[in-house]
Amino acid sequence: MSDQDGKKPLGLSGGARSGRVNQSFSRGRTKSVVVETKRKRVVVPKPGQQSAAAQNAEGNKGRKTVNDAELERRLKALQAAKAREAEEEERRKREEKEREEERARRRAEAEAKEREEREREEALRAKEEEEKRRREEAESRKSAPAEPAAPAPAAAPQADKQPRGGANKPAPQPARRKEDDDRGGRGKGGDRGGRRSGKLTVNQALAGGEGGRQRSLAAMKRKQERARQKAMGGTESREKVVRDVQVPETIVVSELANRMAERAADVVKSLMQMGMMVTQNQSIDADTAELIVEEFGHKIVRVSDADVEDVIDQVEDKTEDLQPRPPVITIMGHVDHGKTSLLDKIRQANVVSGEAGGITQHIGAYQVTTESGAVLTFLDTPGHAAFTSMRARGAQVTDIVVLVVAADDQVMPQTVEAINHAKAANVPMIVAINKVDKPAADIQKVRTDLLQHEVIVEALSGDVQDVEVSAKTGQGLPELLEAIALQAEILELKANPDRPAEGAVIEAQLDVGRGPVATVLVQKGTLRQGDVFVVGEQWGKVRALMNDKGDRVTDAGPSVPVEVLGLNGTPEAGDVLNVVETEAQAREIAEYREQAAKDKRAAAGAATTLDQLLAKAKADENVAELPIVVKADVQGSAEAIVQALEKIGNDEVRVRVIHYGVGAITESDIGLAEASGTPVIGFNVRANAPARNAANQKGVEIRYYSVIYDLVDDVKAAASGLLGAEIRENFIGYAQIKETFRVSGVGNVAGCLVTEGVARRSAGVRLLRDDVVIHEGTLKTLKRFKDEVKEVQSGQECGMAFENYDDIRQGDVIEIFEREEVERTLA
Ligand code: GDP
């Protein structure tokens, strides 16, 4: 449908191509037609005298313009072509014959060579067997050396030691395999050495790929050369030693080469043959390393630094040690359905009024006691973001989900999302039908709505508890809490409080006065002041514990959320905290994890195969990106923002958060933003003075927000700016070609009747033949009688000629359309 396509003269087009064009018509009608540019049959067999286009044009306009001279010329051309063809044919035959002779000669030669070689190998084998016998005898006398010292070659061991050496070199073959000379049987270098694993090597794969092709002369020569080397003792390969190569989870290519005592360049080459484009300074993972080690004929010994983690107590608790623990509850639901109000009411504190924009921004946890005395732990999270990102990190802390649905509203997208999250996490759900105090409340509708999402509440004889509540009046809250307690009882939640503590980070931040602070929900054991711990890539010693009321406590048991002070760095939400015995252990584990994470990132960056790179390049080709740096007050907000921002976009535009973090905007953020040409977004944080100066100097934009929606909206608007305007096509008319005639100086002109709409000279036109678009372009002339006109109405006759196109026929239909640019916005 593009202009270039259309403008191409038909006869010169490379071949048949087709596509689909969607057209929109005046009253909202649309239709789609097949666009096919047909390739014309070329009459003269060899291109030369006449271009295909010229022929087409002539063929179509009939004999009218073919004069005698032209006829003669064409006849001559035809004869010349025929003569050339005959000549060609003869030459081909001659060459074929020569080739056949050459092939026969080579075959004979090759057979002779092979015979010769077979004899020689036979002799070698005899020698080898002799050698072996002698060795065995020697061994049986318990005084044999490990390797025969004699220079006499041993075919098989040599084959073992020379398994590498480029994909183009087929591995040498033991003599006794000689007979079955098919490629499939000769993938492995030898059948007696250490490399007996069933793993596929690159050589094998490549050898297999060659299929049943005839062996080339070069291959014969190589083989002969090898046989000669063997006969001479094969000194080079005999020096090669099979090494035990220790490989950790990731290893730098040069280090791997080092450990194998191979050249780094060879290793890189080998990796390239496997489709991995890495330099010797990049890391590869252990699986890849294993392939390489085998490829080079060594043995891999996998080692894991992760052994340092073994000090973390992973013993399963005995049933008799387990004691009941409070349930951990997450409240989820659509925005404005009353999550914060409910949490607030439950906690008897007023968070809603003081909160910017009414969005839950603080992420923490608190405990309440029900009237019946049950203790419940509530996570104070902003909906699903924290729930999902914690789960993504492997921390499943939630035991029960309370799904809030406003009775004056209905089941909304985020309600469904919440249901799906709870189901995916296999966490039981309790439905809180909120805002029942409102006159508009329709409780029954909520219940039936939920049916559609396979949530069948008890009121409808299902097994999901539902409670009618009002976060405003407090109505139904005791019932809700009891329902939760009941659900918890069914779950029989237990944990062993008498063991080193394990917990999950709910929230973490860098506090100006107190240093790194993390809210940890203890899941097992008891966390005590003075405990040494490792948490994610950080470690520390508990300096102080604060409970949800801000009081200092000395310990925290299962399901108790506490703020932990005494960390060496800020962990991330979802990180697991483990108490260990000594500071040295804690530090070692943290350092190991940090390194492992770094290596993993490096390996992930490097371990892209060429295919992946290409796919990525292709995918990226037409996508405009809006990069952004985000800094927020707490981890939870940062993650919620990142998730919201990454959802913005479509196939053409997307937002890419190149960095996000917690705390003030610093100079380094500005530096990063400048380098990537991005703005910096501060959510409830400000830039410090040096950062402000740097931003001013470098012209980096800083934007501050305290409401997530505003932030997301603004970014969305910015991203929309990246969208290319959409080109919409409007159909304006149709004309039928009644006859065609030739006008000197103009070319072929179509005498048309405008059957629908209007024909406009400035508009785009398509030529349709049997409903197939065979040309798209513009008009050269639009004539009404003798005059050039701008527009011709439906029902009138006119003359039209195409720009750069002549193949028009009676009966063809001309479609007239206009294009307009439409600004687009992201949904
Ligand atoms: P969230 O976005 O789900 O956290 O919803 P909020 O807790 O911020 O509540 C949104 C709005 O609904 C606020 O204006 C609340 O005052 C109001 N609201 C919440 N629960 C109730 C309720 O039970 N009854 C009434 N009338 N209003 C409520």
User: Do residues 765 and 6 lie in contact, with contact meaning Cβ atoms separated by under 8 Å?
Assistant: no
Lowest-pLDDT range of 63-72, 244-253, 312-321, 637-646: 63-72
Are residues 443 and 407 in contact, defined by beta-carbon separation less than 8 angstroms?
yes
Q: What number of helices (H) and strands (E) belong to the chain?
A: 21, 35
Span 34-51, pLDDT tens digits: 444 444 444 444 444 444
For residues 664 and 794, membership in a common domain is answered with no
Q: How far is the CA of 433 from the centre of ligand 1 (A)?
A: 12
Q: What's residue 154's pLDDT?
A: 41
Pick from 440, 464, 494: which residue ends a domain? Answer: 494
CATH of the domain at 745: 2.40.30.10
Q: Is 176 domain-assigned?
A: no
Residues 680 and 737 in one domain: no
Which stretch of 320-324, 437-441, 740-744 has the lowest confidence by average pLDDT?
740-744
166 is in an annotated binding site: no
Which protein residue's CA is at the shortest distance from atom 19 of ligand 1?
Answer: 338
Higher model confidence: residue 638 or residue 388?
638
pLDDT at 578 over 90: yes
Domain boundary among 494, 511, 538: 494
Q: Is 377 assigned to a binding site? A: no
User: Which of 117-121, 580-584, 744-748 is the least confident region?
Assistant: 117-121
For the ranges 457-471, 550-564, 604-618, 775-789, which has the lowest average pLDDT? 604-618
Range in 538-542, 548-552, 714-718, 822-826 the model is least confident about: 822-826
- 408 part of a folded domain: yes
pLDDT at 724 over 90: no
| pLDDT over 70 (residue 209) | no
Query: Based on the structure, what is the number of domains in the chain?
Result: 5
Same domain, 536 and 571: yes
Please list the residues that pair with 377 across neighbouring strands.
328, 367
Task: Identify the band that residue 624 occupies on the pLDDT scale cut at 50, 70 and 90.
Answer: confident
Residue nearest ligand 1's atom 6 by CA: 338
Q: Are residue 303 and residue 329 in the same domain, yes or no? A: no
**381 known ligand binder:** yes
- To the question of whether residue 380 is assigned a binding role by annotation, the answer is yes
* pLDDT per position as a tens digit, 303-320: 766 666 777 767 788 888
Residue 20 has pLDDT above 70, yes or no: no
Q: Which residue has the higher pLDDT, 175 or 126?
A: 126
447 and 362 part of one domain: yes
Instruction: Answer with the one of 720, 744, 767 that is the final residue of a domain.
Output: 720
6 is in an annotated binding site: no
Q: What's the CATH number where 484 sits?
A: 3.40.50.300
Distance 399 CA to ligand 1 centre (A): 24
Residue 707 CA to ligand 1 centre (angstroms):
17
Among the listed ranges 172-181, 252-261, 362-371, which one has the minimum average pLDDT value?
172-181
- The whole-number pLDDT of residue 230 equals 62
Residue 372 shares a structural domain with residue 396: yes
**What spacing in Å lies between the alpha carbon of 337 and ligand 1's midpoint?**
6
What average pLDDT score do residues 333-353 get?
75
* Coil, strand or helix at 28: coil
Ligand 1 neighbours, Cβ below 6 Å, are 333, 335-341, 352, 358, 360, 434-435, 437-438, 470-472
For residues 429-458, average pLDDT: 93
Please report, rounded to a whole number, the percentage of residues in the chain having pLDDT higher than 70.
69
Residue to mutate, 335, 340, 341, ligand 1, most ligand atoms under 8 Å from C-beta: 341
Report the C-alpha gap between 671 and 688 in whole angstroms. Answer: 14
Atom of ligand 1 at shortest distance to CA of 335? 2
**Residue 237 included in any domain:** no
Q: Let me know if residue 114 belongs to a domain.
A: no
Question: Do residues 500 and 546 make contact, with C-beta atoms less than 8 angstroms apart?
Answer: no
Q: Is the pLDDT of residue 77 over 90?
A: no
Q: Are residues 712 and 735 in the same domain?
A: no
To the question of pTM greater than 0.75 for the whole model, the response is no
Range with top average pLDDT, 56-70, 390-404, 487-501, 696-710: 487-501
Residue 258's CATH number: 1.10.10
Asked if residue 764 has pLDDT above 70, the reply is yes
Q: How confident is the model at residue 142 (pLDDT cuts 50, 70, 90)?
A: low
The answer to the question of residue 398 being in a domain is yes
For the segment 55-80, the average pLDDT, to the nearest whole number, is: 57
Average pLDDT over residues 214-239: 62
DSSP letter, residue 471:
T
371 and 291 together in one domain: no
How much distance in Å is there from the Cα of 356 to the middle of ligand 1? 14
Q: List the residue whose alpha carbon is closest to atom 18 of ligand 1.
A: 338
How far is ligand 1, taken at its centre, from the CA of residue 811, in Å?
A: 69
The burial of 38, by beta-carbon neighbours within 10 Å (0-12 exposed, 13-18 middle, 19 or more buried), is given as middle
Judgement on whether residues 626 and 734 belong to the same structural domain of the protein: no
Residue nearest to atom 14 of ligand 1 (CA): 336
Mean pLDDT, the chain, integer: 75
DSSP annotation of 473 reads: T
Arithmetic mean of pLDDT, 105-111? 75
Q: Is there a binding annotation on residue 721? A: no
Report for 146-155, 175-184, 706-715, 816-825: range of highest mean pLDDT = 706-715
**Residue 453, marked binder:** no
Comparing 218-227, 280-289, 450-459, the range with the smallest average pLDDT is: 218-227
The beta-carbon contacts of 449-456 under 8 Å, at least 24 apart in sequence, are: 449/405, 449/410, 449/411, 450/405, 450/411, 452/411, 453/411, 453/415, 453/416, 453/419, 455/403, 455/419, 455/429, 455/431
At residue 423 the predicted structure's pLDDT band, cuts being 50, 70 and 90, is: confident
Task: Confirm whether residue 338 is marked as ligand binding.
Answer: yes
Q: How far away, in angstroms, is 663 Cα from ligand 1 center? A: 30
- Please write the tens of the pLDDT for every residue from 504-538: 998 888 877 788 999 999 999 999 999 999 999 99
Is the pLDDT at 162 greater than 90, yes or no? no
- Ligand 1 atom at shortest distance from the alpha carbon of 404: 3
Asked whether residue 318 is domain-assigned, the answer is no
Instruction: Note whether residue 673 is domain-resident.
Output: yes
| Probe target for ligand 1 pocket from 336, 350, 379, 480, with the most ligand atoms within 8 Å of CB | 336
Work out the pLDDT band at 545, boundaries 50, 70, 90.
very high
Strands 576-580, 502-511: pairing is antiparallel
pLDDT reported for residue 211: 41
Residue 287: which domain range?
244-307
Range 293-297 average pLDDT: 90
Task: Write the single-letter amino acid at 321.
Answer: D
**What is the Cα–Cα distance from 271 to 295, expressed in whole angstroms?**
10
228-274 residue pLDDT tens: 666 665 444 456 688 888 887 778 888 899 889 899 899 999 988 88
Residue 388's pLDDT band (boundaries 50, 70, 90)? low
User: Do 335 and 442 fall within a single domain?
Assistant: yes
* Percent helix, percent strand, percent coil in the chain, to nearest 5: 40, 30, 35
- Residue 14 carries which DSSP code? S
Same domain for 676 and 767: no
Most confident residue range from 120-134, 200-214, 557-571, 646-660: 557-571
Does residue 648 belong to any structural domain of this protein? yes
Reference 508, options 517, 500, 521, 497; nearest CA is 517
pLDDT at 229: 64
**How far does the centroid of ligand 1 lie from the alpha carbon of residue 380, in Å?**
15
Q: What is the pLDDT of residue 10?
A: 35
* CA pair distance 225, 222, nearest whole angstrom: 5
Q: Which atom of ligand 1 sits closest to the CA of residue 358?
A: 8
Domain identity same for 466 and 341: yes
Looking at residue 577, what is its pLDDT?
Answer: 93
